């Protein structure tokens, strides 16, 4: 799957990738759009969507579709996991968490040729636990 599916290195594409890598917030497409717009005021949301899709297919970024209705994107493509708060929806990295999944080589499963895996924990974040008024 990783293989270039685009031909030109446009400024838009570069800035989208740079800003996504710089942010550590797993932004949605619109959040990233707002960020990118500070450098390229004329860019359109459609272009952001198109490029995120291409960059994801090329394996340069990760599309995190498991955190709610709106997709989130991650510029960090090395293996790492996430925790999501079921109350406020906040999503953050789990640094240095080790599982046997990382050590085990899994090439096939159920007849599928396995390319990778995603692991997400869910629970209640410190902030939401403190304000247990809700």
Partner DNA sequence: GTCTCTGCAAAGTTTTTGCATGCAA
Partner DNA sequence: TTGCATGCAAAAACTTTGCAGAGAC
- Which positions lie near a copy of itself, rule CB under 8 A? 1, 64-69, 71, 83, 85-86, 92, 94-95, 97, 99-101, 106, 108-126, 129
Structural Rg of the chain based on CA atoms: 17
Per-residue mark of binding to DNA, 15-44 (x: CB under 7 A): -------------xxx---------x-xxx
DSSP single-letter state for residue 97: -
Residue 46 engages DNA in binding (rule: CB under 7 A): yes
Question: Is the Cβ of residue 5 or residue 10 nearer to a copy of itself in the bound state?
Answer: 5
Among the listed residues 129, 49, 46, the one whose alpha carbon sits nearest the alpha carbon of residue 90? 129
Burial of 57 (0-12, 13-18, 19+ CB in 10 A): middle
Question: Is the Cβ of residue 45 or residue 85 nearer to a copy of itself in the bound state?
Answer: 85
Q: Quick one: what does residue 40 bind among DNA, a copy of itself, none, with the CB cut-off 5 to 8 Å set by partner type? A: DNA
Helix 29-37 vs helix 45-57: angle between axes, to the nearest 10 degrees? 120
Min separation Cβ 99 and DNA, Å:
28
Structure tokens given for 70: 């709106």
Question: Is the Cβ of residue 6 or residue 121 nearer to DNA in the bound state?
Answer: 6
CA 131 remoteness from chain centre = 28
Binding site for DNA (CB under 7 A): 6-13, 28-30, 40, 42-47, 49-51, 53, 69-71
């Amino acid at each position: 799957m990783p293989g270039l599916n685009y031909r030109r290195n446009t400024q838009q594409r570069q800035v989208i990738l740079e800003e996504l890598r710089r942010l550590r917030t797993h932004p949605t497409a619109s959040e990233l759009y707002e960020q990118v717009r500070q450098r390229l005021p004329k860019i359109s949301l459609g272009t952001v969507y198109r490029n995120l899709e291409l960059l994801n297919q090329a394996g340069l970024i990760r599309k995190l579709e498991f955190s709610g209705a709106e997709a989130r994107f991650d510029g960090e493509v090395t293996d790492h996991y996430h925790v999501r708060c079921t109350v406020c929806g906040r999503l953050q990295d789990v640094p240095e968490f080790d599982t046997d999944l990382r050590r085990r080589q899994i090439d096939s499963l159920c007849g599928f040729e396995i390319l990778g895996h995603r692991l997400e924990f869910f629970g209640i974040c410190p902030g939401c636990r403190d304000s247990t008024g809700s």
